[in-house]
Amino acid sequence: MDFEFGAADEAFRRQARAWLQERLTGEFAGAVGRGGPGSEHERGDVRRAWERELGRGGWIGIGWGTGRSADRGTGRDTGRGVDRAAYGVRRATLTQQVVWAEEYARVRAPGRCGHIGENLLAPTLLAHGSKEQQDEFLPAIARGETLWCQGYSEPGAGSDLAGLRTTAVRDADGTYRVTGQKIWTSLAHEADWCFVLARTEPGSRRHHGLSFLLLPMDQPGRIEVRPIRQLTGTSEFNEVFFDGAHARAAHVVGGEGNGWRVAMGLLGFERGVSTLAQQIGFTEELGRVVREALRAGTAADPVLRDRLVRQWAELRVMRWNALRTLGNGGGVAGAPSVAKLLWGGWHQRLGELAMAVRGSAAAVGPTDWSTESPYELDALQRLFLFSRADTIYGGSDEIQRNIIAERVLGLPREAKGPVRGTP
């Protein structure tokens, strides 16, 4: 199936472009270009108001119920027949979702702070949740009123998700008490709710005995959020400590003990239409590096010039690969892992190239120390430091290669050692 834009898509593009131009004024204009990777701390209040503006425009959730799911547990299509109008969401085809993502990225609209709820939790509820759960949580996400965070990774079990040790014990009244620690939890300090993968079957190991729970973050004394300061000086990642935090039995998605299947289905939603929008941001960053090479005179170096051309060519390949994947309904085996391997390494190399074209000046901070924080970074320095994590977060390169080897190529599974803390 070819992925092509038709007349209806271009009409949709004009509509999206006009809406963005009309709304990105006043306080929202000051948030243009703010809140992207490495700068999620910028203009938080304005960006949260922007989420509500998107909700009023019907732009949140336009992808709900379209395309094929990535339910690795059943292999079936999910999210079909969703009445998006009931949630105040615009109707949009897959190609129109791409158009919206591209237009949003081109105008450098404010970085989204509600994307975890919209792009991860909502499709998961549509695929695995009950009608009651959908009716309870989807409307607030569509209005841009509720922010979510993801409680997956743990110390000692970051990429090895099945090695988690957080527990959820059910009381007689049906309430689960969640105890444990999560780490690298994006935007937990701003989130209203968290979806948590926890062990509900005592003595279970690996992917058995896990459940997918939804719990409110406003539980003083039961939930503690500690920011993790990164190389960039920012701290959008957090440690989250649960000390008997409460989750209702009605908020277990997919039923008790089925958490692994639900969690794997959610991970499949992480890489879809948003990949193309991400590449528009990459194009802007590459342009900035090229301009810096011209300014510094290093573009005359044949080795650096070759690296710049290679970055451009690889970016084009990534776009064609993303379009090919979407053209097949997102159902290409191993496509999410291939995409993550491609963009993670590419972006990391771009950060290294940004420092190379600047030369020794790359290590120099602001010249006016009276007005700048000693830890203030410019855009290229932030790109370099933040991209060091690109091949780790969202599933490390090693994990992605294992997935491709085992699930696509059919190679023998890697032998697993004992779970930490067990014989």
Task: Dig out the tokens for 92 from the structure.
Answer: 């949009």
Q: Is 270 a catalytic residue?
A: yes
Quote the CA–CA distance of 201 and 219 in Å, as a whole number: 24
Quote the CA–CA distance of 168 and 213 in Å, as a whole number: 9
Quote the CA–CA distance of 292 and 357 in Å, as a whole number: 7
User: Among the options 270, 285, 292, 314, which is catalytic?
Assistant: 270
Q: Give the number of C-alpha atoms closer than 13 A to the C-alpha of residue 104, restricted to the C-beta side.
A: 22
CB of 334 closer than 8 Å to CB of 340: no
Backbone angles phi, psi at 298, to 5 degrees: -80, -10
CB of 343 closer than 8 Å to CB of 389: no
**Amino acid at residue number 385:** L
Quote the CA–CA distance of 78 and 97 in Å, as a whole number: 18
3-state secondary structure of 215: strand
The single-letter DSSP state of residue 26 is G
Backbone angles phi, psi at 212, to 5 degrees: -105, 110
Quote the CA–CA distance of 269 and 209 in Å, as a whole number: 23
CB of 215 closer than 8 Å to CB of 246: yes
- Region class of 265: left (phi > 0), else alpha (psi between -120 and 50), else beta: alpha
Catalytic center residues: 270
